[in-house]
Chain A
Amino acid sequence: SEAKSGRTDLIFLIRFRHCCLLRNQRCLLAYLYDRLLRIRALRWEYGSVLPNTIQFHMSAEEVEWFNRYKKSLATYMRSVGGEEGLDLTQDIKPPKSLYIEVRCLKDHGEFEIDDGTTILLKKNSQHFLPRWKCEQLIRQGVLEHILS
């Protein structure tokens, strides 16, 4: 209303306010974008199912974004590497052997491996297991990879 009344000296005030609005907008956008970058990193570092403690802190839109990202990634991985697709989130570090030695860091209950046998993952127990079964559990902090 003051602009309409023709007071040109207030143009500075308007410009100042506009700068502040743009600044706030920038800060908010950068914050939200950084959150998305971290959520995306979770898919690679943690896995496709996020623990409740993390999901609790995500907004509904962020959860939906994560699900859509998961889907895009899965579609892409299926499309490369022939018939079965290629799991890019496995073997992030070059594997040296098919089986690895792991130690259990917390109780995780029963764990079934490919030939049907089940293993009890109790804290401090050590096992010799196929690498591809353990990788995710190691990343999640349940198992620890022991080098011989």
Chain B
Amino acid sequence: MSEAYFPVGPGLGLEENFLSLDDILMSQEKLPGRAESALPRLALALGKGGGGAESVPEGSKLEIPLWLAKGLHDSKRRIISVEPPKIYKEAWRTVFSADANVVDLHKMGPYYYGFGSQLLNFDNPENPEIAQTVSNCVYHLQTFISRFRRIMDSSQNAYNEDTSALVARLDELERALFQVGQKGLNDFQCWEKGQASQITASSLVQNYGKRKFAEVDG
């Protein structure tokens, strides 16, 4: 399935890809916001209600997913206003520039780069800082790349185990890059061993051997 299956990838920059499953998951992440006017009947939906059709009073703090924030937001801020989560702010920027190794970027929000790019859609006085913070995270990626290289060079077989601890602290974009790198290395080793021309079973078939399907009637 991996050879001929090409899923829709995440969008680059400010635009999401509508059909990208990655972007859908990413836009489910929440950000803090504030109700700019009383929102009738929405209390339950926004996590503030008791049970009846209550209103969200003006000024209450909300945590809403990105897709909802994008839908309800407008430049006049009549309905809600949003602000970037803490991790994109000034305080964290210094942590990143100091020592990127320390940071567990997966815990920060597994879609750090994608979500950060989407935040730039809301006009916000802090946008330049957000963009800066996200680009500083590139240092994070670079340190992991150099670590990855060292592990690859040292031992051929053990690298699969060593890298799982490494991968746990990468966000989704970094993991995708990591996988691409690993695949490249695997393909090269395969070619070195003369296996590049070996026909292999479709990975779909191999997976079916492992899973049990319901009884098929004719």
Please give the residue numbers on chain A whose beta carbons come within 8 Å of chain B beta carbons, in ascending order.
9-10, 12-13, 15-16, 18-20, 22-23, 26-27, 29-31, 33-34, 37-38, 40-46, 52-54, 56-57, 92-96, 100, 131, 134-135, 138-141, 144-145, 147
Contact = CB atoms under 8 A, between A and B. Distances in A.
29 contacts: A12-B39, A12-B40, A12-B72, A13-B42, A15-B72, A19-B67, A26-B18, A26-B24, A27-B24, A30-B20, A31-B21, A37-B5, A37-B6, A37-B8, A38-B5, A40-B5, A41-B3, A41-B4, A42-B204, A45-B3, A45-B4, A45-B204, A53-B208, A92-B199, A93-B199, A134-B199, A139-B202, A140-B202, A145-B199
Interface in B30-75: 37-42, 45, 67-68, 71-72
A52 B209 CA distance: 14
B7 A44 contact: no
B1 A41 contact: yes
B154 interface: no
Contacts of A37: 5-8
A138 B216 CA distance: 24
Nearest to A140: B205
Contacts of A42: 4, 204
B196 interface: yes
B158 interface: no
A85 B20 CA distance: 35
Nearest to A44: B4
A19 B72 contact: yes
Contacts of B6: 37, 41
